[in-house]
Amino acid sequence: MKYDYLIVGSGLFGSVIARELTQAGKSVKVIEKRSHIGGNVYCEDIEGINVHKYGAHIFHTNDVEVWEYVNKFVEFNRYTNSPVALSKGQMYNLPFNMNTFNKLWGVVTPDQALAKIDEQRSELRGKKPTNLEEQAISLVGRDIFETLIKEYTEKQWGRNCRDLPAFIIKRLPVRFTYDNNYFNDKFQGIPVGGYNPLIEALLEGIEYETEVDYFDEKNKWDSLARKVIYTGAVDRYFNYVHGKLDYRSLNFEHDILDSTNFQGNAVVNYIDKEYAFTRIIEHKHFEFGVQEKTVITKEYPKEFEEGDEYYYPVNDTVNNRIYSKYKKMAEQESKVLFGGRLAEYKYFDMHQVVRSALNTANKELGK
Ligand code: FAD
Ligand code: UDP
């Protein structure tokens, strides 16, 4: 055996576990089917701007150990995500906070906002929310659901809000202060110079190859390593024996504009369904850039089709049931570990992927 571990995928999961295993003296090889390392956090330098090629990535966490871990490899800036949302010609602050409530209802105090929401959530008559629509109404009432959630969510997921799991909307904070910070976490920022320096530092001194699809020569790769760590789509690994899992994919449309400042914010959400895209990202604002040009990206959600990249697992009841069968199969594979957003089929953010990779490495190393 040439290597102790073959790691399939150079995203955050693959890169963190590669670093941890190497650090412990194991021999590791990483293969990656894309033409670059980094998975979805990869950035490309365009006009001196770090363009988040696979969508806006803001690192945020409450996990001190994870924060300290990533800070060992790169410095983070003080960027705080405060998206705004355009709905029927009006701009609203996100997440749902006193600025949003004031703009929508003219209320000024937290008590007034709460009274408004209480009045609107009474339509549920105390019923425990069982889907995204009911969860949204229970959190912020029908007006906000109709103005800022329904159309965006149905574009993003291609499904009716009543057919989507409640947890998706619970990702967003609801707060009764005038605070537009999109996250509640203690730590937040963007690596200075974008995400590539983080991935490069994690993989420093580790053998890797890009433009290699594991499945093209699976037997060869398996024979080279004692164990495989797989971070691709779990249903693909098992040849879809229990059927295909649903994923949402995205098309990204990048444009270079002859403007210093296109939209005045890194993230502007477009709620109305008349726009086929969900948001426009203006990348320079992640790093307070003052370049002469600007690069923007429109994000068009779509159902995954053969040849697309996998981006979002659809964790509804039907898919979770199918996933639980794959999970059982994965647990029985003694030579293969499964990790990351695609292999664990979980709507993980970056910090959760780092945590999961560290835990997997520790378990593997008997720590
Ligand atoms: P990935 O980054 O998907 O890496 C998996 C890698 O495996 C890929 O490079 C893939 O090419 C490779 N691979 C797959 N199959 C094979 C194969 N057969 N052979 C070889 N290589 C293979 N998280 C946040 O914390 N904050 C955010 O603001 C945020 N924004 C996001 C915005 C968008 C649009 C998306 C899609 C995600 C966002 N995330 C965000 C989530 C974040 O991207 C993920 O949590 C994290 O990047 C997942 O890392 P991973 O290693 O599990 O997967
Ligand atoms: N969402 C919404 N309106 C918005 C922003 C988000 O309804 O303006 C909902 C939508 O269902 C989305 C979910 O909240 O899928 C989570 O949003 P987040 O910004 O966390 O999504 P991500 O960045 O992972 O795409």
- Is 40 a pocket residue for ligand 2 (Cβ < 6 Å)? no
Of 248, 344, 345, 364, the active-site residue reads: 248
**Residue 152, pLDDT score:** 98
pLDDT for the residue 364: 97
Are 319 and 313 in contact, with CB atoms under 8 Å apart? yes
Among candidate residues 75, 118, 171, 272, the one labeled active-site is: 171
φ, ψ dihedrals at 361, nearest 5°: -60, -45
Amino acid at 351: H
Q: For this structure, is 299 an active site residue?
A: yes
* Spatial distance between the Cα atoms of 355 and 28, rounded to a whole number of angstroms: 20
Using a cut of 0.85, tell me whether the model's pTM lies above it.
yes
Domain ranges of the chain: 3-79+187-245+315-364, 84-169, 247-303
Closest protein CA for atom 10 of ligand 2? 153
Between the CA of residue 155 and those of 244, 250, 335, 357, what are the distances in Å?
Answer: 22, 11, 40, 31
Please confirm, yes or no, whether 20 is among the known catalytic residues: no
Q: How far is the C-alpha of 271 from the C-alpha of 273, rounded, in Å?
A: 6
**What distance lies between CA 351 and its chain's CA centroid?**
10
Run of H or E residues at 223: helix 218-224
Q: Which residue's C-alpha comes closest to atom 53 of ligand 1?
A: 11
**CB-CB contact of 323 with 245 (8 Å):** yes
Strand-pair category, 267-270 with 312-313: unpaired
Q: Pick the atom of ligand 2 nearest to 132's CA.
A: 11
DSSP per-residue letters across 107-171: --SHHHHHHHHHHHHGGGTTPPP-SHHHHHHHHH-HHHIIIIIHHHHHHHHSS-GGGS-THHHHT
Output the tens digit of pLDDT for each of the chain's 367 residues.
Answer: 899 999 999 999 999 999 999 999 999 999 999 999 999 999 999 999 999 999 999 999 999 999 999 999 999 999 999 999 999 999 999 999 999 999 999 999 999 999 999 999 999 999 999 999 999 999 999 999 999 999 999 999 999 999 999 999 999 999 999 999 999 999 999 999 999 999 999 999 999 999 999 999 999 999 999 999 999 999 999 999 999 999 999 999 999 999 999 999 999 999 999 999 999 999 999 999 999 999 999 999 999 999 999 999 999 999 999 999 999 999 999 999 999 999 999 999 999 999 999 999 999 999 9
The residue whose CA has the least distance to atom 23 of ligand 2 is 56
pLDDT recorded at residue 1 = 85
Q: Which CATH superfamily is domain 3-79+187-245+315-364 in?
A: NAD(P)-binding Rossmann-like Domain (3.40.50.720)
Distance 184 CA to ligand 1 centre (A): 22
Active site residue 341: no
Nearest in space to 361 (alpha carbons), one of 8, 23, 2, 11:
23
